Structure formats: C-alpha cells, structure tokens
Amino acid sequence: MSAGHDIRLLDVFRGQPKAVWITAFAAVIAFMGIGLVDPILLSIAESLHAGPEQVTLLFASYLGVQVVAMLITGAFSARFGPKRTVVTGLVLIVLSTLVCALAGTIGQLVALRAVWGLGNAFFIATALSVIVGAASGGQQAAILLYEAALGIGLSTGPLLGALLGTISWRGPFAGTAVLMAIALVLAAGFLPRDTDRAARPKVRLLDPLRALGHGGLLRTSLGSACYTAAFFIVLAWSPFVLEFGAIAVGLVFFGWGVCVAVAGVTLAPRVAARLGEVGGTVLAVLIYAMLLGVMAIGSKPVVVVAVILSGLASGLLNTLFTGSAMSVSNAPRPVASAGYNFCRWLGGAAAATLVGHIAEWLGSQHAPFAVGAALCLISAGLLATDLRFMSGKHETPTTAALIGERR
C-alpha cells in the first residue's frame, strides 16, 4: 500500500466524535464474544461432561435468540431511542457473561448464552446505526469503522479466551463481563442523549421483514446467510477437528481474526473499486468455498493454514455484504440492517445447531466443511443473479467502492 493510501485510510479514523469511539470500543468487546468460547470448547465439554453436539449449542442458542431479537431492535430503538437500546443490550451482556462464569451445567450455560445473544441483538444492530449517524465521513467511513471493530473483536476474542482459559474455562466469561462493564459505563455516561420520540422515525415491528421484499436486499441477505453458515461451521467445528489445546486454538483463530480485520478494512475497498461490490463478493465467496473444500480433505496442518487464510475471504465478505445491504434498497438504514442481520445470523444459528449432527449423519469429521463449501456456491449463485441483472447497466457505487475511489 502506498503512503498516499495510508494517509487517506488514516483520515477515515481521525476526528471521529466521542460517541463513535465509545460505540466502536463496545462493538469490539461484543464481537469478542463470538469467538471467545472457541479455545475453551473442549475444556467446557470435559468439565461439564458434554458432547460436541451439546457444546456447539453455545453458538446456536446465542445466535438463535439474536436472530429473532433482530426483528424487534428497530422498533425498540425507535420507541426508546438508540442510547437506551445500546445500554439495555450492554446490561444484558454484562449480567449474562458474569453468571456464565458461575454456571454449573451445560444447560445453564446454553441458556445464559441465549440471554447474551439477546443483549448482542440490541447492541449490534443499533451500534451500526449509531456509528453511521455520528461518524464524520458518512456511511462509507462508518462501515469501515464498524468492520474494523468486527475484525479486532474476532481476532482478540479467541486469544483472550485462550489466555484466560488456561486458568479455567470460567475465566473468559468473567473477563468479558469486566470489559463489557467498562463499555457500559462509557456508553451510559458519554453517548449523546436520545432525542424526543416524536423526532425519531417510526419503525413498525414487521418493517425489517417487509424490507426483504426488495429483491436485491433479499438476495444479498440470503447470500450472506449461506456464507455466515459456512463461517460458523469453521468457527464452531474447527476446534473439534484440530483437537488442540486452548492456547494453540486461540493462536490459530487470532491469526484468522487478524486476517479478517486487515482484509475488511484495507482490501475490501480496493476489490470493490476494481470489481464492483457484487463482483468482489462473488469472487470472495468462491475463494471461501475453495478453502472449505481444502479443509474437507486436508490434514490438520493444512486445516490450520486454510482456517487462517479463510480470514482474508471473511474480511472481504463481511465488509462487502454489509455495504451492499446498506445501499441496495431504499429502506431506512436501521430497518435494512435489522432485516439483513436477521437473515445473516439465521444462517449462523442453523449451522451452529446442525454442525455436530452433520458430522454424525455423514460419518465424517470433515463433512461439515464440505457442506459449508456447497453453501458458499449457493451464495455465489444468488449473487450472480444480481451480476446478470446489472450487466450492461451502470452499477451504483456502494460503500466500499466509494471509499476505494476516494483513495
């Protein structure tokens, strides 16, 4: 990357309001929760006498509740205001993570992760809207900041889980509770007060589902659901295939998360500027399918390399999918975000629920990776429909592309 590119990229992060940085910090901690349990899955299974299909429910309950709750976040935020919504989400996360550290059975832990997912739903969907509304540089800079928070959270979550997990599997939950409590204090004390309800846009409960009536948003959301299912197959199942200790798994996913952050912030805008946002997404999801195919047939060292490299494709896809979803329809940003995230995390919840059973049904520990590769091909097919539709037409520059052009 040239010096000029570095300066312009840094400009995106300079001069942002305090509210943006507080929300971004809280987002980092929230996204840490996704990969936090990865390095300690085997420890939890051993300590609580649970099988892989039970332990992967830690992802399924978290994401399943988050999916349903995504449908009400827009209406909740419109009624009570974004600050109250963010604070409510953070309170739920702090309480659930704290009690997770005290859980005595796998059932209790799964139930508490569901409460955690509810808090995350209130926070994640609203955080993107808060950052978009407050960031200098508009939507383009905001999505880069949001994806940077996602990448940092995904990379540091497994590392924190590994380090604290060497003490006890309860340690990562307690550590997250402390960090989220800090974010809660900052959000409650420094985020701007909510405007009067009359000044906020009215959002009905079913508006996110109605927004999916737009063909472009629906295809983007379904494509993202298929990709996110594959994403969580990698996240939830790799530790059982690798059978490494907590530190080793944490280091693997730290490398993966660094790749997610670098690709999402620095590579995605360039890919979008060169290939268009949809074209770049198709290319990235096909690369992800190829890497999952390698995981399906490779030895443990090959799986390690493929998992880490898959972070590059994930970073591209997280940014490009989010940019497309926020730009492809005329729906208000909170409504489009809620509808898109509903589909996106539904794919992750389904994968986390079924991944252990897929290995059992197909009689192979590597079979879930093959299923993930097939889902990525389906995602590419859905997106290719948009490419054919836009063939010969001028594609509206979307978020990542506009950032690339401004460089």
Domains and CATH numbers, the chain: 3-406 (1.20.1250.20)
pLDDT of residue 234: 92
φ, ψ at 23 (rounded to 5°): -65, -40
pLDDT of residue 101: 92
pLDDT of residue 221: 92
pLDDT of residue 387: 62
Q: What is the pLDDT of residues 111-127, one digit of tens each?
A: 999 999 899 888 877 77
Taking a C-beta distance cutoff of 8 angstroms, is the pair 97, 170 a contact?
no
E-only strand ranges, 25-146: none
The model's pTM is 0.79
With b meaning 16 or more CB within 10 Å and e meaning fewer, what string describes 93-115? bbbbbbbbbebeebeebbbbbbb
CA gap 135, 138 in Å, rounded: 6
Amino acid at 110: V
pLDDT of residue 397: 46
pLDDT of residue 112: 94
pLDDT of residue 97: 92
Q: What is the pLDDT of residues 138-180, one digit of tens each?
A: 666 777 777 778 778 877 888 888 888 888 889 988 988 888 8
CA distance readout (Å), 100 to 90, 94, 95, 171: 15, 10, 9, 10
pLDDT of residue 10: 55
The residue ranges of the chain whose pLDDT is under 70 are 1-15, 132-140, 197-201, 203, 334, 386-407
